[in-house]
Structure 1
Amino acid sequence: MVKYNTHRLKLDSRRAALLVIDMQNFFLKPKSPTYTEGGTAILPTVKSLIGAFRKSGRPVIYTTHVHAADASDAGIMKWWWEGMCVEGTEEAGIHPLIAPLPKEKVVKKHRYSAFYDTDLETILRCQKIKDLVITGIMTNMCCESTARDAYYRDYRVFFLLDATGSVSEEFHLATLKNLAYGFAYVTTAAEILRSLKGK
């Protein structure tokens, strides 16, 4: 996938943060009606990235996609999607394998982009973040929407092809091609891990 990149970037680990998007039980439990197979496949890789960022003293920021029980904050999404992830339920929780530490930020969102009507940008600005490493699900929806919004806000976006997942390989690849063309540097977890080690 690197062949689709129009620009090559090297992570500035001093100004980098890891964004873990919507790795929730709602999407990752096999019995869930919204189960996303691509999400469970990337769990070990996301876990290793979280560990590396923590070890390097760099921020790990999580997002959860949640709605009120009455869906009063869902808008058109209530019509578009059958099921809503209700805030405060077990389904809304982040998968236990990659649970956040008490000090780590969890941004609650009601739309695909983690920037829309949240405090994510304030969190990043206060920590002087310039490089945003995007992981999570789904590649072609919340991850892509967030990557585009990050680019619009002048962040350098590192979009991980092996730490994002979707419901189909077709959707996944389409997003990688689009983002590599005009919004993000599409790369691998291994390359990010090397950069964190100063290599």
Structure 2
Amino acid sequence: MSTTAVLVVDMQNGFLHPEGSLARAGMGLPDAEPVIRATEALLARARGAGLPVFYSRHVISAGGPEMSPRWRAAAAPAFAVEPRMLSHGSWDARILDRLAPAADEVVIDKNRYDAFLYTGLEDALRALGVERLLVAGVLTNVCVESTVRGALERRFEVAVAGDATAAYEGFRAPSLAAMSALFATVAPWSELLPSPDAERTMA
């Protein structure tokens, strides 16, 4: 497990908190709470095993000039209730307190779906000798899948904790199936990161 790291993708107030921009606009993720709980458990297991944990955080400038026209249009209701949606330095852009990074854990800011694109994520992983990524986060079919594809193209082995990802209805299962077919091992987090007792039992 020494070459494995956990990557938590965009688990931010704007996406997951009941007072975040998406929830206030009536666009909250339907399965957010169980996904948050699964990610809490995954982080506890990973930290207990001494695995490095990385976070990505999606941040944009006021008004979202980095966003594609289609994404900006889809996000219009959220901008209407929170003009600083995911803006640099805003509460909306902060990692959810329940999943907050420890003081020594790396947070990568990004403004594209793929957490590797135009960021220092790959260099940070390579510096620690990471070869395998265990990915959790939101949205399953957008930033998680884009990042998983980016990781594979950079020759990382990738696993996705399916129960620690969230998306809107109708998108999560097809995205997990697509990733499982070609890009990653997809399973519940507890199967991807078994407890030390389970490992001893299997041995």
TM-score range, shorter chain: 0.7 to 0.9
Aligned residue number for residue 75 of structure 2? 81
Aligned residue number for residue 25 of structure 2? none
1:60 and 2:53 are equivalent in the alignment: yes
TM-score, with structure 1 as normaliser? 0.86
Is contact 2:110–2:118 with CA below 8 Å preserved after alignment? yes
Distance 1:67 1:116, change over 3 A: same
Mapped to 1, the partners of 2:197 and 2:178 lie a distance apart of: 29
Mapped to 1, the partners of 2:129 and 2:88 lie a distance apart of: 30
Gaps of 5+ in 2: 23-27, 80-84
1:41 and 2:24 are equivalent in the alignment: no
CA displacement at 1:41 relative to structure 2: 2.3
Mapped to 1, the partners of 2:30 and 2:7 lie a distance apart of: 20
1:193 and 2:193 are equivalent in the alignment: yes
Task: For 1:1-199, list aligned pairs within 5 A.
Answer: 13-34=1-22, 35-74=28-67, 76=69, 77-78=71-72, 81-82=75-76, 83=79, 84-168=85-169, 170-194=170-194, 199=199
User: Does the residue aligned with 1:37 lie in a helix, a strand or coil?
Assistant: coil
Is contact 1:53–1:196 with CA below 8 Å preserved after alignment? no
User: Does the residue aligned with 1:58 lie in a helix, a strand or coil?
Assistant: coil
Mapped to 2, the partners of 1:19 and 1:196 lie a distance apart of: 21
Residue range with higher mean Cα deviation, 145-154 or 38-47: 38-47
Mapped to 2, the partners of 1:165 and 1:117 lie a distance apart of: 24
The residue identity in structure 2 corresponding to 1:148 is: R
- The CA RMSD over aligned residues, in Å, is 1.8
Mapped to 1, the partners of 2:13 and 2:106 lie a distance apart of: 18
Query: Taking every aligned residue pair, what percent have the same amino acid on both sides?
Result: 32
Mapped to 1, the partners of 2:72 and 2:117 lie a distance apart of: 17
Mapped to 2, the partners of 1:19 and 1:173 lie a distance apart of: 20
Distance 1:33 1:123, change over 3 A: same
CA displacement at 1:190 relative to structure 2: 1.2
Gaps of 5+ in 1: 1-12
CA displacement at 1:58 relative to structure 2: 1.0
Mapped to 2, the partners of 1:195 and 1:113 lie a distance apart of: 30
Mapped to 2, the partners of 1:196 and 1:148 lie a distance apart of: 30
Which one has more relative contact order, counting CA pairs under 8 Å at least 6 apart? 1
